[in-house]
Amino acid sequence: MGRWNEERVIGAAPDAPSLAAARKLARPGPWSDTGSNDVLVWGKCQGSGKTPYQVSVDIAAPAYRCSCPSRKFPCKHALALLLMWARGETAEAGSETAGFAQEWAAQRADRAAARDRRQSEQQTDPAAQAKRLADRMAKMDAGIADFARWLTDLARTGLASAHNQPYAWWDGVAGRLVDAQLPGLAEQVRAMGSDVHARADWADHLLLRTGRWWAVTKAWSRRDELSAAEFADLRVAVGWAMASADVQAGESLPGPWLVLGAHRSDDGRLQQQRTWLRGPDGTVVVVLDFAAQGEALATPQLAGALLDVTVARYPGSAPQRAMFTSPVAPRGLASSLGTGCRIAEALDQESAAVALSPWRERHPVLFAEVRVCPGGSGWLRDGSGAALPLIGASVDSLLALTGSHPVHIFGELEEGRVRPLSVVVHGTVVTP
């Protein structure tokens, strides 16, 4: 693997405070036993304790390990080590691999080999595959039936009663859904346990969700009548993942792909990164990356970047999930994201998409000539006077970027609110 540049290290940072702390540590003073080879970079960083932290980075994955107690990945120590490596301030490649780094690499290799062995065994035994599928379907059928009964009881007692339920009540329902191999529904129910207490509009939010959940139970019972795309969307709703190998076996679409924007989230259990791309023919897809706590997400792509890469799409209605099927090679930066649309048009597009897939969580939209307006969580307003509230955005930062002038903004439309992911300012695509 080639040596990273500082821009790539900066892109791997989980947040600005981690990067700022890493810059302070990116000097030889606190470091010892640094080194690197074709795939690993390692070193020890002296902290406040007696024992220095052991830091290892797999630059091919990428993956990170540090003995410090930080829950961020990569932590400030791994970032600092990578910054020094990018500047050529660590031991030269070819040095003897430190024992702690070699042990970590061996454990990763063993886990990968075991995973590949299990997958190979599963794929070469059709009878076992059929039995596993039948067992899973039976569990899912029972889980959906149980969930439908719970929803019926919830409707009979009244949604207001759910507001007084403790989190454990919701978590118990989610646990049964996990046991029934319905993790997608389980995460939604588990999140609702917090939302009913944290959101001012909890009643409307709960009503919307329970309606969707009931529709899922009805669609599942009639799944044999669904088209391939409709069933694929339903699989996503309940959390039945599709094997990456099956996706890669399909058609790959060439680039260049324009990065419209990206968003990272962390619910305490799972980290997620959504990257929205548009192909040369106008096709919009989203690349999803996941990482458990303690693991590192894929390096984020820069908004406005043009990528020479091929992607394969998962089945389902547009915009579809996709995955990279070749190495990513940045080609350059775009000066715009396209023509965009007004708010009324965006709502019409979202309505059409939801009509095809009622379980859709969010819809990508490029707004044209909208102003950022203060008030509450902030608003986007277009020339016709139509407006939408913002979510997950710093209004002060957006006002500073745009000067309240009309700009193009790409974002996710979610439950009538907009999450801005990128802004075009004076011919430059900027992440707010």
> Residues of the chain with pLDDT > 70: what percent?
95
Is residue 381 left, alpha or beta, with left meaning phi > 0 and alpha meaning psi from -120 to 50? beta
Is residue 70 in some structural domain? yes
pLDDT band at 224 (very low <50, low <70, confident <90, very high): very high
The mean pLDDT value for 308-332 works out to: 90
The mean pLDDT value for 217-227 works out to: 94
Please check whether residues 172 and 230 belong to one and the same domain: yes
Residues with Cβ < 8 Å from 34, sequence gap 6 or more? 41, 42, 43, 44, 81, 84, 85, 90, 91
Is residue 223 in some structural domain? yes
Which of the 8 DSSP states describes residue 341?
B
Domain count, the chain: 4
Q: What is the per-residue pLDDT for 292?
A: 72
Which of the 8 DSSP states describes residue 121?
H
Domain final residue pick, 238, 259, 291: 238
Please check whether residues 11 and 108 belong to one and the same domain: yes
- Stretch among 20-24, 89-93, 323-327 having the lowest mean pLDDT: 89-93
Is residue 245 in some structural domain? no
Please check whether residues 231 and 133 belong to one and the same domain: yes
Q: What is the per-residue pLDDT for 108?
A: 85
Mean pLDDT estimate for the chain: 88
Please check whether residues 96 and 10 belong to one and the same domain: yes
The residue segments making up the domain with residue 361 are: 343-430
- Stretch among 212-221, 267-276, 412-421 having the lowest mean pLDDT: 267-276
The mean pLDDT value for 184-209 works out to: 91
Please check whether residues 293 and 361 belong to one and the same domain: no
Is residue 313 in some structural domain? yes
Q: What is the per-residue pLDDT for 358?
A: 87
Please check whether residues 183 and 153 belong to one and the same domain: yes
Residues in the chain: 432
The mean pLDDT value for 135-162 works out to: 94
Please check whether residues 199 and 106 belong to one and the same domain: no
Q: What is the C-alpha separation between 389 and 398, in angstroms, rounded?
A: 13
Prediction pTM value? 0.71
Q: What is the C-alpha separation between 211 and 140, in angstroms, rounded?
A: 20
The mean pLDDT value for 347-357 works out to: 90
**Type of residue at 244:** S
Please check whether residues 227 and 257 belong to one and the same domain: no
Q: What is the per-residue pLDDT for 93?
A: 57
Indicate if the pLDDT at residue 119 is higher than 70: no
* Per-residue model confidence as pLDDT tens digits over 369-428: 999 999 888 999 999 999 999 998 889 899 999 988 999 999 999 888 999 999 999 999
Please check whether residues 137 and 225 belong to one and the same domain: yes
Q: Three-state SS for 367?
A: strand
pLDDT band at 1 (very low <50, low <70, confident <90, very high): low
Domain final residue pick, 84, 117, 150: 117
CATH code at position 378: 2.40.50
Is residue 82 in some structural domain? yes
Q: How many helices (H) and strands (E) does the chain have?
A: 13, 18
Is residue 1 in some structural domain? no
Please say whether the beta carbons of 167 and 193 come within 8 A.
yes
Q: What is the C-alpha separation between 28 and 6, in angstroms, rounded?
A: 17
Please check whether residues 363 and 319 belong to one and the same domain: no
Q: Work out whether strand 387-389 and strand 407-414 pair parallel, antiparallel, or are unpaired.
A: unpaired
Please check whether residues 108 and 159 belong to one and the same domain: no
* Per-residue model confidence as pLDDT tens digits over 9-43: 888 888 888 999 999 999 988 999 898 888 889 99
Domain final residue pick, 60, 83, 117: 117
Q: What is the C-alpha separation between 421 and 380, in angstroms, rounded?
A: 13
Is residue 148 in some structural domain? yes
Please check whether residues 320 and 417 belong to one and the same domain: no
